[in-house]
Amino acid sequence: MLIWSFKRKRHADGSLSKHKAGICCHGGQQQWGVNFYETYAPVVTWASVRSLLIMSKLYNLNFRSIDFVLAYPQAEVKATIYLASPAGIKISTDGEDVVLKLKKNLYGLKDDGRTWWEHLSLGLDKFGFRQCTSNLCV
């Protein structure tokens, strides 16, 4: 099931800046072994971040952080997931309602964090980066 998410963005003084709408999945209807198989995704620890910052300072290396905009939808979905159209949007062909097949990951799925982590790991591996065995986020 798809769910609408509406937000009001405001300026620093509290005045209205813009309205934003997004769409996400209702992961509560997913079933283990049918729509997803594993949900674990590693999370970086502050000790690891501090260690990287200290090492970059000691060796005079540049340290940059990256924010991926719409990170989860960049990864492919592994399981086959069909969704009904969200409220307010009627999609039909020849008078019959249509279901949507999810091709890319979407916020709200139970395994979206793991799917993104696997996608990112494979992408970084192509550029020659290797993961630390003791902390998978480094």
Q: What token pair was written down for 108?
A: 């709200």
The per-residue pLDDT for 58 is 94
The per-residue pLDDT for 1 is 66
Predicted TM-score (pTM) of this structure = 0.65
The long-range contacts involving 25-28, CB below 8 angstroms and separated by at least 24 positions, are 25/1, 25/81, 25/83, 25/102, 25/106, 25/107, 25/108, 25/109, 26/1, 26/2, 26/108, 27/108, 27/109, 27/110, 27/112
- Per-residue model confidence as pLDDT tens for the chain (138 residues): 677 878 899 999 989 889 988 777 776 666 676 666 777 778 888 888 898 899 899 999 888 877 777 777 777 877 777 777 777 777 777 777 778 787 877 777 777 778 888 888 888 899 998 888 887 777
Q: Give how far the C-alpha of residue 124 lies from the chain's centroid of Cα atoms, to the nearest Å.
A: 16
**Cβ–Cβ < 8 Å for 103, 76:** yes
